[in-house]
Structure formats: structure tokens, C-alpha cells
Amino acid sequence: MRTGLEGRTALVTGASRGIGLATAAALAAEGCNVVLTSRRQQALDAVAEELRQAYPKSGFLAKAAHVGEKDQAEACVAAAVAEFGSVDVLVNNAGTNPYFGPMVDLDVSRAEKTVQVNQLSIVLWTQAVWHASMAASGGAIVNIASVGGLVTEPGIGYYNATKAAVIHLTRQFAAELAPKVRVNGIAPGIVRTKLAQALWENNEELINQHTPLGRIGEPADIANAIVFLAGQTSSWMTGQTLVVDGGSLIRHSFLG
């Protein structure tokens, strides 16, 4: 089935590596123009050039921005609209986890940083694309949550709390922005990214054994699901969060 994404413009936060980079490539492969944003312009420029070589029919714009700063989000979206005329797809992918440990010992500064990047950014970038483009021309938004937002886990409880908030923000924005804009989310399991490296680097064999599909995720697994939610093949879906985790969550439930 055709996704209907050819000629559309997608903006991806956290696009310089991991799931964000894989998503930018997957959207470009569908014929999208892609706006790449993360904190470091040099890294973005290198990624943009790599993607231009691989997908010469797509346009690329690299624009550094701190995902949790309102003025920077608005400036990036304005640059995207100036370059391509609209933003048709927003992928809220950027995330952070600066603290590992029990929540009773969590300090305020790292708690605030986690909320700013993982939770507040969803609001800021959704507002920016709505007011700059989507209120007039519609679009699709995909938010990256986590299976951790659906369960309890040691060590990353506060990160998971912010991802649970992403799941609710997905529903809330879907209700508020319909029918102009569809808003859906993805809850990945453990994926081979730098952000999740501490979870899988020394435990991959054990994780594979406890995952029904026998392996941890790759960034492309999530990128493919994002393309589905961004395109017309999911045109009657909004407010939903897809779990893409190799079956780990059903095993968690099975084991109690």
C-alpha cells in the first residue's frame, strides 16, 4: 500500500542518530522532504549530507534546536515552512534519561531536565507546527513514548513516568486537534540506541532470551512503524500508541 508521503515535509526531532536518524531515512525513502533537528548543528550537517547522497530526490534542512526551548522550536518550524511551504508530519522523537536509580533519591535538576526534554517538548513542538502549518493544512504527529510508560521498572522510574505522560499527551492532542491532525504514538521496547545502551550493552543475550521474537529492536523497526502512522495507510487511526517491542510486554504480563 502507498503511504501518500511523497512530496510531504516531515520534521524529526533527535534526528542526528538512533531512531531519529533511521526515521529520517525511512521518510526520505518514501519521498518526503525532511527537516532534521537536534542540539548540535555539526552532527546534523553531516547527517543531512549523508542523506542527500542516499536520497537525491528529497530535500533536507538541518536546523539545530534545543527540543525543550519554545523559541527554538518555533524558529525551527518557521525555517521548515519557509524552506518547504509546510510541515505535514512531526515526529517527536528526542528523549533523555540523565538519572538511573530510585525515585526517592532523584534530584530536582535532573527531574526537570527529563520533563523538559521528554514531556514538555511534545507540547512545544506540537504547538509550533499547529500554529505555523497544520491548523491550516492538516497533518500527522507521531510521538515516541516507551513500553516503560506502561509498566514499573527499577532504575528508570522517572524516565518511564515522563513516557507515560507522552502516552496521555498523545490521546489529549488527538482529541483536541481532530479532524485536522492525527496524533499517534509508539512505545518501543529496548532498541539498539545510544540512549538505551546501558540497558542492552552487557545484557543482550539475556534480553534476547526473554524477548518472544528473539532479539532486541533496531532503529529501523521503530522507523518503519513511524512511517505507517505518518502515512495514509493509517488514515483512520488517532490517539493510539502502538507497542513495538518484539513481544517483551506480553512476556512481562505473562510472568506477572
What are residue 245's phi and psi, to 5 degrees? -145, 15
Alpha carbon of residue 79 to chain centroid:
20
- CA-based torsion, 192, 248, 235, 87: positive or negative: negative
1/22 Cα distance (integer angstroms)? 21
Residue 91: helix, strand or coil by DSSP?
Answer: strand
**Side-by-side strand order, sheet with 60-62:** 60-62, 33-37, 9-13, 89-92, 139-144, 181-188, 241-244
Pairing of strands 181-188, 139-144: parallel
- Active-site hit among 55, 99, 158, 159: 159
Q: Which residues of 5-33 are buried (b: 16+ CB within 10 A; e: fewer)?
A: beebbbbbbbbbebbbbbbbbbbbbbbbb
What element of type H or E holds 92? strand 89-92
Indicate if 99 belongs to the active site: no
Mind telling me the catalytic residues? 159
